[in-house]
Amino acid sequence: MEIRNRVVVVTGGGGGIGGALCRRFAADGARQVVVSDIDREAAAAVAAEIGGAAVRADVTVESDVASLVRGIEATHGRVDIYCSNAGIAVGGGPEASDAAWRQSWDVHVMAHVYAARALLPGMLARGEGYLVGTISAAALLNHVLAAPYAVTKAAGLSFFEWMAIAYYDQGIRLSVVCPQGVRTAMLAQEGERNFLTAGALDPEQVADAVANGIHDERFLILPHADVGEFFLRKASDYDRWLRGMRRLRGRILEER
């Protein structure tokens, strides 16, 4: 799909990967870029920069997502590309609070479900539409320190896979972007000792990969090329991969 002249929505668009996506879509000639974020001021700042529109929405509230989509359809007639990008970082394992697990589930899974419910009727009626999920390499490779994050990201990936199976032949295109470390506030809050910092990409590099992936209508977008190789190793010898992940976790914990 070409981005030029398309109506594009980006959730979590007030900064990080979302802000970079908004800038890239505007540069590529999108007809309208709608910057959505739970932080109204952040969304407005990005929208003002690119000549887009800002809409506050909490993606964990279905009525907010439905209102976001209905408003854009009423104003612009359609939503061509919807980037379900909002995310949070929650570490720990089973001991993480129920609230942390539920919030991770709501942001990384139900936000995609709410978007699909709102978007698919119009897209299916037109026989065209594109949904992009900002997932994570953690969905493919897990995360040695953050179970709520890895588990819910994997569930989000599975939902996008299901939609690609169910709706592709009806004209709906889907992509998931699965980066490792990206130089955003989410990575910065974990400190310089985060094991993903060394190979981190700039948000603009991720946005470039997403734009190219949409153009090629490629389901799996990997801004870090070595993630694909790691994924193949995991599939070829699961036990060996688990041993390697245990060693990685041990090294990280020793350094802390």
- 182 touches 206 (CB < 8 A): yes
Looking up residue 89, the CATH number of its domain turns out to be 3.40.50.720
Would residue 243 count as lying in a domain? Answer: no
**Per the domain annotation, does 127 fall within a domain?**
yes
In a domain, residue 133? The reply is: yes
Predicted confidence at residue 120, as pLDDT, reads 98
Lay out the sheet containing 220-221: strands in order across: 53-56, 32-37, 7-11, 81-84, 129-134, 172-177, 220-221
pLDDT recorded at residue 192: 46
pTM of the model: 0.93
Whether residue 149 lies in the annotated active site: yes
Structural domain includes residue 1 = no
Domain count, the chain: 1
Q: Rounded to an integer, what distance in angstroms lies between the CA atom of residue 12 and that of residue 89?
A: 13
Q: Single out the catalytic residue among 82, 114, 130, 149.
A: 149
177: domain range?
7-226
Unique residue bearing structure tokens 């709520």: 148
Tokens 């929208």 correspond to 47
CB 214 within 8 Å of CB 132: yes
pLDDT at 255: 84
Q: For residue 199, what pLDDT is reported? A: 75
β-partners of residue 7 are 32
Would residue 247 count as lying in a domain? no
> Is 228 within 8 Å of 184 (Cβ atoms)?
no
> 2 lies in a domain?
no
| E strand spans, the chain | 7-11, 32-37, 53-56, 81-84, 129-134, 172-177, 220-221
Tens-binned pLDDT, residue by residue, of the chain (256 aa)? 999 999 999 999 999 999 999 999 999 999 999 999 999 999 999 999 999 999 999 999 999 999 999 999 999 999 999 999 999 999 999 999 999 999 999 999 999 999 999 999 999 999 999 999 999 999 999 999 999 999 999 999 999 999 999 999 999 999 999 999 898 766 555 544 555 666 789 999 999 999 999 999 999 999 998 999 999 999 999 999 999 999 999 999 998 7
Kindly report the number of other CB atoms within 10 A of residue 62's CB atom.
Answer: 16
Burial class (CB in 10 A: 0-12, 13-18, 19+), 143: buried
Residue 116 resides in a domain? yes
Residue 248: inside a domain, yes or no? no
